[in-house]
């Protein structure tokens, strides 16, 4: 094999190795991004922002108590409630399917608002008792 042919072959091998390394790094980066997104999604199933939910929850305090811990049996405690249960319940209330008291409170909420509230309340510890 001539020196020129050897150099050309070596050059191709080096370029292929560089290409494979770049491809592997790109794949690893994409995999890490996907894992991060999955972790965030798993943390809050509906993509809710608990900090935003905490701000919105101030409007819920007068009935459901500080941090969702009601002090009266008239209004349920919502601290520690499962996200799915919270979201489905709020959507039913918003649609007018149940709960006349909450219909006016939920009418203006978007799905994102509900997800944010669900993320906030679900991360709180549920109160003791029934």
CATH number of the CATH domain containing 58? 1.10.760.10
Give every CB contact of residue 80 below 8 A, 6+ residues apart in sequence: 68, 121, 122, 124, 125, 126, 127
The percentage of the chain sitting over the pLDDT mark of 70, rounded to a whole number, equals: 64
Rg (CA), the chain: 26
Query: Are residues 39 and 73 part of one domain?
Result: no
Residue with tokens 């997800």: 115
Determine if the pTM surpasses 0.85.
Answer: no
Cα of 19 vs its chain's centroid, Å: 36
Q: Can you give the residue range of the structural domain that contains 67?
A: 50-123
Most confident of 43-57, 69-83, 86-100: 69-83
pLDDT (0 to 100) of residue 15: 45
pLDDT (0 to 100) of residue 37: 43
pLDDT at 38 over 50: no
Query: Are residues 113 and 87 part of one domain?
Result: yes
């Amino acid at each position: 094999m001539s020196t020129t042919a050897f150099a050309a072959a070596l050059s191709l091998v080096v370029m292929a190795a560089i290409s494979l390394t770049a491809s592997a790094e790109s794949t690893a980066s994409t995999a890490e991004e996907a894992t991060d997104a999955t972790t965030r999604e798993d943390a809050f199933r509906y993509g809710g922002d608990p900090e935003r939910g905490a701000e919105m929850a101030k409007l819920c305090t007068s009935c459901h108590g500080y941090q969702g811990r009601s002090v009266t049996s008239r209004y349920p405690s919502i601290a520690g409630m499962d996200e799915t249960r919270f979201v489905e319940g709020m959507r039913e209330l918003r649609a007018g399917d149940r709960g006349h008291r909450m219909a006016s409170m939920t009418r203006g909420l978007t799905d994102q608002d509900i997800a944010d509230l669900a993320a906030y309340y679900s991360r709180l510890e549920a109160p003791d008792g029934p």
